[in-house]
């Protein structure tokens, strides 16, 4: 008899739990000011509208809404996504839209098609942690593209020549909050096209703008070379687990096959609920409310950072999305401060979690959408104190 | 500029669409008697109970039900699964239960952990097509274990020594309807244990028994070596996309990491709905109704087969589940009959879809749960006519 019935595939060594998901377990601590997780504000969920939608769907079409469905997703939802993207400047047909179980699944499926051992995938620096996690089991090596405040540097893309794809999050990026300007999008698309470098464009936050909508997607400038991923998590509710992938024809068919093997199709009932919600026309009003609420959070955090942190960190004020990105003094190791911060009643995510290869240890991601304004101020003040104490201790040690 | 931005991973050549899912598109044809797909009866969905549950959940806990959740699944649901499995003879703790997006995702995640190029995975002959699909992208080679009417032959397991796992569907198997007897389960578990051969036990149909519940899971005889997969699709509704995986500790942690990378977690709202349904205690009554209804379908099909097919095919009458498996005359290629059958108003699935390596072309899978009794008879009569005509034509050609 063998003790070890299980022999694992080599890729298992690449599987790592997310630092953020591990943090979420701590964040259940009562009273903790959560500036850590990327949880959308629960106050923004359209619970009443969903209640009405559930009644409607389960009265009018219970058999369809509870049955298996086609892998591609429900036609009405695919059509809605295509129309919405057309309004944003991306020429898309419903036949190119695959409904996914959140945009995280879109990342997994694209990685399954494109990545393998010995291949490279290029990412921003820093980049979305969940993308690094999704790519990891496929054993490609993630390489970082040089970035400035406006995003990846087009002239640096030649350094990742031969990569299977460049993963981009152009709108209010997680973690930096950065929005890539239109000219830069065009330059990146042109350079990628020249190199034959495929793009994976991830856009969960594009609708969460404060003053003006972001420029058209990068995909608009190179549709044949881009897989575009979107999500209903940040505009309706993450608990429905619905997102979408848009891809040019040959990639699309493979994505559908991969999706079918992975989970047959996404939730039928959840898709019916969202179709019913969208049919009522509530989305634009709802989005207006979410934007106004998140803008208040952004303003509260900008104010609190100015009050408590202006000698401790630098940052850009984000024009949408959910996050501030702080750069501290280089001698600070943000991860080492986390236990003290939690003790002082505030959580954050150490920036080191978001780098593929060259971690910046003195960086921090703060979310401004989970907590109300007064608690944001309280959390930032507590965090400032922790950082200040660390700086004092280190100065003391240096003497 | 490159025409081909996309360079695909080698595994892409293994991705195939499911014959059944392709068939489902044909099955939308109005009037067609569907003996093809494995769709549970829509009449069996607890739509009214779900309507009440949706009201309750969205009134009482909308924020929790619509938010992100932990990867493992909601504690109350994991606890329910563990308790249910303990009642069935499997010693399980809630900490070993991972909620998945249908049991199809369980197959994908287990394959991701265990399979890779150059590895082997053993399967029954025939076996569930969706498992072959889930395994394919991981590039292992599927090998068939010799089977008789009672399931895999324990003495044949040495022929698949070195395989990463044996995939088994012991209760009312898809496609054969076969239920492995208790003694055989014990013999298989003992032999697997002796060889150090891991088991993947898939059990979507175990609750759909007619006269008596099936024996305890194979996992009960070798819990340290088995990953057990279950589903809410066949006992509540597939459109919720909820299933579960139960695994010994070291495998469990890796499964959670793989799940997190794949889609973060399964639908929070759907999990809350199911918890609320189960809390009301409706499941056992509901299951009694589903069993009674499916038993009527089984009886109708047994009667129809006896009336129209007794000189055309052989079969075992299934004691649960959803399927009959017919063996026709060896000269019949069932797949070639499908277009004529659809023209005659009836669909079926050619058995060839369910074999990993040695297809049996003269076999057919029929579902008895999608259609009412009178249409089952009508469909079987039409199919008999198609087969009879094919036999006559072939005899004519042979002359």
pLDDT band at residue A394, thresholds of 50, 70 and 90?
Answer: confident
pLDDT of residue A334: 96
> Does the structure show a pLDDT above 60 at A399?
no
Residue B210 lies inside a defined structural domain of this protein: yes
Q: Do both A197 and A80 map to the same domain?
A: yes
Question: Which pLDDT tens digit goes with each residue over B64-84?
Answer: 999 999 999 999 999 999 999
Q: Are B91 and B206 contained in the same domain?
A: yes
Looking at the domain assignment, is residue B2 inside a domain? no
Q: Do A50 and B66 touch (CB under 8 A)?
A: yes
Closest partner residue to A238 among B6, B67, B104, by Cβ?
A: B67
Each residue's pLDDT tens digit, A150-162: 999 999 999 999 9
Q: What global pTM score does this model have?
A: 0.95
CATH number at residue A318: 3.90.1150.10
Q: Are residues B163 and B229 in the same domain?
A: yes
Q: Find the CB nearest A239 among B50, B67, B134.
A: B67
Query: Scanning every residue of chain B, which has its alpha carbon at the shortest distance from the alpha carbon of A108?
Result: B262
Strand partners, A329: none
Are A102 and B264 a contacting pair at CB < 8 A? yes
Contact list, B222 vs chain A (CB under 8 Å): 5
Tokens standing for A128? 């979305």
Mean pLDDT computed over A363-388: 96
Question: So what's the pLDDT on residue A25?
Answer: 67
The pair of three-digit structure tokens given for residue B208, joined into one six-digit string: 């759909």
* Structure confidence at residue B365 as a pLDDT band (50, 70, 90): very high
DSSP, collapsed to helix, strand or coil, labels residue B336 as: helix
Nearest-Cα distance to chain A for B370, in Å, is: 11
- Report how far apart, in Å, the C-alpha atoms of A398 and of each of A328, A338, A387, A394 are: 18, 22, 16, 6
Question: Which one of A256, A279, A302 terminates a domain?
Answer: A279
Are B109 and B252 part of one and the same domain? yes
Domain assignment of residue B22, yes or no: yes
> And the tokens for B201?
């036990």
pLDDT per residue as tens digits for the range A263-285:
999 999 999 999 999 999 999 99
Domains held by chain A: number: 2
Q: Is the pLDDT at A1 greater than 80, yes or no?
A: no
Residues B245 and B156 in one domain: yes
Strand pairing report for A33-34 and A346-347? parallel
* Mean of pLDDT values over B117-134: 96
Mean pLDDT of the B294-321 span: 98
Please name the residue of chain B whose CA is at the shortest distance from the CA of residue A249. B6
Measured distance CA(A70)–CA(A264) in Å, rounded: 8
**Cross-chain CB nearest to B9 (options A39, A62, A114):** A114
CA distance A304 to A383: 11
DSSP code of residue B214? P
Say if A266 falls within a structural domain. Answer: yes
Over 80: is that where the pLDDT of B173 sits? yes
Of B37, B58, B195, the CB nearest to A51: B58
B8 within a domain of the structure (yes/no): no
Q: Is residue B331 part of a domain?
A: yes
Q: Higher pLDDT residue, B396 or B9?
A: B9
SS3 A367: strand
**Same structural domain, B235 and B96:** yes
Does residue A209 form part of some domain? yes
Nearest CA in chain A to B21: A70
Instruction: Say yes or no: A138 and A268 in one domain.
Output: yes
* Nearest CA-CA distance, residue A368 and chain B, Å: 16
Residue B7 lies in a domain: no
Q: How many CB atoms lie within 10 A of CB B332?
A: 20
**Domain identity same for B389 and B254:** no
User: Cα–Cα distance between A219 and A215 in angstroms, integer?
Assistant: 11
> Does B268 contact A239 at a Cβ distance shorter than 8 Å?
yes
Q: Which of B13, B141, B263, B270 to mutate to test the interface with A (most CBs of A within 10 A)?
A: B263
Q: Both A39 and A53 in a single domain? A: no
Shortest Cα distance, chain A CAs vs residue B267, angstroms: 5
Which of B262, B286, B370 to mutate to probe the A interface, most A CBs <10 Å?
B262
pLDDT score of A30: 79
pLDDT of res. B25: 67
- Among A227, A260, A279, residue at a domain's last position: A279
Which of B279, B297, B318 is the endpoint of a domain?
B279
The pLDDT score that the predictor gives to residue B358 is 92
Same domain, A23 and A54: no
SS3 A226: strand
pLDDT of amino acid B19: 73
Range of the domain at A266: 47-279
User: Do B173 and B308 have their domain in common?
Assistant: no
**Residue A124: its pLDDT value, please?**
98
Is the pLDDT at A2 greater than 60, yes or no? no
CATH of the domain at A135: 3.40.640.10
Q: Tell me: do A271 and A169 sit in the same domain.
A: yes
pLDDT tens digits, one per residue of A35-55: 987 789 888 899 999 999 999
Residue B201: other Cβ atoms inside 10 A: 26
Contacts of A226 (CB under 8 A, 6+ apart): A189, A198, A199, A200, A201, A217, A218, A219, A248
| pLDDT bracket for residue B26 (50, 70, 90) | low
Using the beta-carbon criterion (under 8 Å), do A138 and B54 form an inter-chain contact?
Answer: no
Distance CA A130, CA B259 (A): 12
């Amino acid at each position: 008899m063998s003790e070890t019935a299980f022999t694992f595939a080599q890729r298992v060594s690449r599987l790592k739990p997310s630092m953020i998901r591990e943090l979420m377990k701590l964040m259940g601590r009562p009273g903790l000011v959560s500036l850590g997780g990327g949880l959308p504000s629960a106050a923004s969920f359209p619970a009443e509208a969903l209640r009405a939608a559930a009644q409607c769907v389960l009265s009018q079409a219970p058999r369809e809404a509870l049955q298996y469905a086609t892998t591609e997703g429900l036609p009405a939802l695919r059509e809605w996504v295509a129309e919405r993207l057309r309004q944003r400047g991306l020429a898309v047909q419903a036949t190119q839209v695959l409904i996914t179980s959140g945009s995280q699944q879109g990342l997994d499926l694209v990685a399954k098609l494109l990545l393998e051992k010995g291949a490279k995938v290029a990412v921003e620096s820093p980049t979305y942690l969940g993308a690094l996690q999704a790519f990891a089991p496929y054993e490609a090596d993630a390489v970082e593209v040089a970035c400035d405040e406006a995003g990846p540097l087009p002239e640096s893309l030649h350094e990742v020549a031969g990569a299977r794809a460049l993963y981009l999050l152009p709108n209010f990026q997680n973690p930096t909050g950065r929005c890539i300007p239109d000219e830069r999008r065009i330059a990146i698309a042109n350079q990628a096209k020249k190199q034959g470098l495929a793009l994976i464009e991830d856009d969960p936050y594009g609708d969460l703008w404060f003053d003006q909508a972001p420029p058209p997607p990068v995909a608009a400038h190179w549709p044949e070379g881009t897989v575009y991923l979107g999500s209903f998590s940040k505009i309706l509710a993450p608990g429905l687990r619905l997102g979408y992938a848009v891809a040019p024809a040959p990639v699309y068919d493979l994505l559908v096959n991969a999706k079918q093997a992975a989970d047959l199709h996404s939730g039928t009932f959840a898709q019916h609920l969202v179709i019913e919600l969208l049919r009522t026309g509530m989305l634009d009003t709802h989005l207006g409310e979410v934007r106004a609420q998140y803008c208040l959070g952004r303003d509260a955090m900008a104010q609190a950072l100015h009050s408590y942190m202006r000698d401790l960190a630098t940052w850009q004020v984000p024009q949408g999305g959910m996050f501030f990105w702080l750069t501290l003094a280089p001698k600070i190791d943000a991860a080492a401060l986390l236990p003290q911060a939690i003790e002082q009643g505030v959580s954050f995510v150490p920036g080191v979690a978001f780098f593929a290869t060259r971690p910046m240890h003195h960086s921090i991601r703060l979310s401004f959408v989970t907590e109300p304004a007064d608690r944001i101020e309280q959390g930032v003040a507590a965090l400032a104190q922790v950082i200040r104490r660390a700086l004092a201790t280190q100065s003391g040690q240096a003497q």
